C-alpha cells in the first residue's frame, strides 16, 4: 500500500475512534426510536445521523440506521453490546453494531476488463472509499501491474469450469489468510459455487449490465443493439445462489439512440458500471445497507 494512502486511512481511524453505527430491523411498533435514543443517551452518545423506514406501521417491518459519537467507545463497546441485547430481545430485533474506525478489509476479484477495478482504486486513493484493500485476485494476469503500482498484493488464480473447485479452495484460503470482510466482483467473469457464496452471505458485491432479464448470456450489447434499445445501464447487487438475482444495492441508466453502435454502447455501459459499483461499495462500507429477504433498504 502506498504510504500516503496508509496515512489517509490512519487519519480517518483516529478521527472516528469514538464513532459507531447501529443497524436494526424488527417488527414495527411504538417506542423503538425512543428506546434506542434513550439507550444511547445513557452511554453519553450523541446521535449524528438517524434514518428509519417502515414497510407498514401496522404489522410491517421497521428498519433503522443510527450513527453516533460516544466518548471512550472502544472501552464501552462490550458493555454496550451486552446491554443492548435486552432491548433487542424486547423488540425482536436483528441488529448489528459496527465501529467506524475498524475499517473493513476488502478483496477485489477481476478478470480482463479493468475499468471497474480502476474506478475503485481511484476512489480509494482519493479518500472516497474508506476500506483496507488487502488483496486483488484474478484468473488472468492483466491486473497485476495495476495492483503492484498501488502496493496491493496480487494473486493469480487460474479459474474455469474445469478447475472451479480447486480454484475456489485456493481463493477461500486467501480470503481467510487476509481476513477479508468484503469481496467485490469488479467484472470477475466466473460463476461462484454455492459453497463459496454460503461462506460470505451478503458480503459479495457484483456488477453487471442492466439488460437482465433480457439478453441473458453472451454478447448482450450486440443483441441489444440489434433490438434497438433506448436505455442501457448497470446493476450492483449482493451475490446469491440464484445467478444475477441477489438483492439489488444500486442501479444506473443512460439513454442511448439509434446512432450508437455496439462499441459506443459498450463504452457507455462501462462508464455506468464503474459509477454504480463504486456507489454500492461505498454504501456497504458505510453500513448503509440492510438486506431484507431479496431486497435492500439503503439509507
Angle, alpha carbons 131-137-140 (nearest 5°): 145
- In angstroms, the CA 91 to CA 10 distance is 37
N- to C-terminal Cα separation, the chain: 31
- Tell me the pLDDT band of 169, cut-offs 50, 70 and 90: very high
Average pLDDT over residues 230-247: 93
Q: Is 33 helix (H, G, I), strand (E, B) or coil?
A: helix
Helix 32-42 to helix 73-91 angle (10° resolution) is 150
Position 131 scores a pLDDT of 98
Q: How far apart are CA 286 and CA 104, in angstroms?
A: 10
Mean pLDDT value of segment 96-110: 98
Do the Cβ atoms of 16 and 101 come closer than 8 Å? yes
CB-CB contact of 197 with 206 (8 Å): no
- Residue 96 · residue 103 · CB < 8 Å: no
Contact 168, 192 (CB under 8 A): yes
The question of whether 142 is a catalytic residue gets the answer no
> What H or E segment, with its residue span, contains residue 279?
helix 262-285
- pLDDT for the residue numbered 19: 98
pLDDT at 265: 95
Least Cα distance to 22 among 6, 39, 4, 8 occurs for 39
- To the nearest whole number, what is the mean pLDDT of the chain? 96
pLDDT surpassing 80 at residue 213: no
Q: Cβ contacts of residue 186 below 8 Å, gap of 6+?
A: 108, 109, 110, 116, 117, 120, 207, 277
HSE (CB half, 13 Å, CA atoms) of 170? 12
Q: What is the share, in percent, of the chain residues with pLDDT greater than 90? A: 93
| pLDDT band at residue 232 under the 50/70/90 scheme | very high
**Catalytic position from the list 242, 244, 287, 292:** 244
pLDDT > 70: percent of the chain: 100
**Span 169-179, average pLDDT:** 97
pLDDT at residue 154 tops 80: yes
CA 82 to chain centre: 27
Question: How far is it, in rounded angstroms, from Cα 85 to Cα 107?
Answer: 32
Residue 56 has pLDDT above 90, yes or no: yes
Check residue 214 and give its pLDDT: 86
pLDDT for the residue numbered 217: 78
* pLDDT reported for residue 2: 87
Mean pLDDT to the nearest integer, 217-225: 90
129 DSSP assignment: S
Report the pLDDT averaged over residues 80-94: 98
Question: What would the pLDDT profile of 255-299 be if each residue is shown by its tens digit?
Answer: 999 999 999 999 999 999 999 999 999 999 999 999 999 999 999
Residue 161 pLDDT: 87
The count of C-alpha atoms lying within 13 angstroms of the C-alpha of 229, restricted to the half-sphere facing its C-beta, is 23
Residue 211 in this model has a pLDDT that exceeds 90? no
In this structure, the number of other CB atoms found within 10 A of the CB of residue 85 comes to 11
Query: pLDDT tens for residues 244-264?
Result: 889 999 999 999 999 999 999
Amino acid at each position: 500500500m502506498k504510504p500516503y494512502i496508509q496515512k489517509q486511512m490512519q487519519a480517518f481511524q483516529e478521527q472516528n475512534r469514538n464513532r459507531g453505527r447501529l443497524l436494526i430491523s424488527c417488527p414495527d411498533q411504538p417506542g423503538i426510536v425512543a428506546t434506542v435514543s434513550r439507550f444511547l443517551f445513557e452511554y453519553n452518545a450523541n446521535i449524528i445521523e438517524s434514518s428509519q423506514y417502515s414497510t407498514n406501521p401496522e404489522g410491517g417491518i421497521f428498519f433503522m440506521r443510527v450513527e453516533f459519537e460516544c466518548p471512550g467507545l472502544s472501552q464501552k463497546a462490550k458493555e454496550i453490546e451486552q446491554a443492548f441485547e435486552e432491548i433487542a430481545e424486547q423488540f425482536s430485533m436483528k441488529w448489528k453494531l459496527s465501529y467506524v474506525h475498524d475499517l473493513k478489509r476488502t478483496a477485489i476479484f477481476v478478470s480482463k476488463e479493468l475499468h471497474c477495478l480502476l474506478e475503485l482504486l481511484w476512489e480509494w486513493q482519493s479518500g472516497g472509499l474508506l476500506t483496507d484493500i488487502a488483496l486483488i485476485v484474478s484468473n488472468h494476469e492483466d491486473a497485476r501491474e495495476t495492483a503492484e503500482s498501488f502496493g496491493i498484493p496480487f494473486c493469480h488464480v487460474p479459474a474455469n469450469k474445469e478447475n472451479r473447485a480447486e480454484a475456489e479452495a485456493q481463493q477461500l484460503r486467501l480470503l481467510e489468510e487476509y481476513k477479508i470482510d468484503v469481496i467485490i466482483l469488479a467484472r470477475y467473469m466466473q460463476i461462484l459455487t454455492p459453497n463459496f457464496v454460503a461462506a460470505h452471505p451478503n458480503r459479495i458485491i457484483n456488477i453487471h449490465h442492466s439488460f437482465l432479464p433480457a439478453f441473458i448470456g453472451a454478447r448482450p450489447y450486440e443483441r441489444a443493439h440489434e433490438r434497438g434499445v433506448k436505455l442501457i445501464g448497470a446493476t450492483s447487487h449482493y451475490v446469491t445462489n440464484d445467478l444475477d438475482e441477489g438483492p439489488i444495492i444500486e442501479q444506473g441508466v443512460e439513454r442511448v439512440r439509434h446512432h450508437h453502435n455496439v462499441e459506443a454502447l459498450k463504452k457507455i455501459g462501462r462508464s455506468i458500471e464503474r459509477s454504480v459499483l463504486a456507489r454500492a461499495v461505498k454504501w456497504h462500507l458505510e453500513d448503509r445497507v440492510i438486506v431484507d429477504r431479496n431486497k435492500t433498504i439503503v439509507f
